[in-house]
Amino acid sequence: MTTDAPPPKGASDTSPAQPTTEQFVQVQESPEFGELRSTYRSFAFPLTVAFIAWYLLYVLLSNYAGGFMGTKLFGNINVALVLGLAQFLTTFLIAWFYSRHAAAKLDPKADAIKSRMEADA
């Protein structure tokens, strides 16, 4: 059972100060936050649409182009298997690409906003 009692005398509180609701709203309306949101959206939305289109193409080909998907490429490996495995590869590539994008473009902007908010609190 926990209580919200203040720390005992002599104990230091190491948690960062919490910004107020007004500070959150002010930051949300700032041009800096708008730029961060725009940078995220300009990356995430097109890539998401492209991946969904690629996935739906695979599903549609599987349902309506059985002859094409059953085409043997070598041995028992056919087009359907290769495209299905490519779905996994694409997923991992997108995750890796997003991680690099976030580290280079999103994280520095978000850290600057966070530091400013914590300094103002």
Residue 13 — very low, low, confident or very high, per pLDDT cuts 50/70/90?
Answer: low
Mean per-residue pLDDT, 89-107: 96
Q: How confident is the model over 17-67, as pLDDT tens digits?
A: 677 888 888 888 999 999 999 999 999 999 999 999 999 999 999 999 999
The answer to whether residue 106 is domain-embedded is: yes
Q: Check: pTM over 0.85? Answer yes or no.
A: no
Assigned domain for 8 exists: no
d(CA 54, CA 87) in angstroms, rounded, equals: 8
CA–CA distance, 35 with 106 (Å, rounded to integer): 10
For residue 78, the cross-strand partners are 72
Query: What residues have CB less than 8 Å from 110, skipping those under 6 apart?
Result: 36
Identify whether 21 is part of a domain: no
Residue 55 lies in a domain: yes
d(CA 56, CA 62): 10
| Structural domain contains residue 17 | no
Structural domain boundaries, residue 51: 29-120
Tell me: pLDDT of 10 over 60: no
- Name the H helices within the chain: 21-28, 31-64, 66-69, 79-101, 107-120
Assess if residue 105 is contained within a domain: yes
| Percentage of the chain exceeding pLDDT 90 | 69
Indicate if the pLDDT at residue 109 is higher than 70: yes
8 A C-beta contact, residue 119 and residue 25: no
Identify whether 35 is part of a domain.
yes
Residue 6 domain flag = no
How many structural domains does the chain have?
Answer: 1
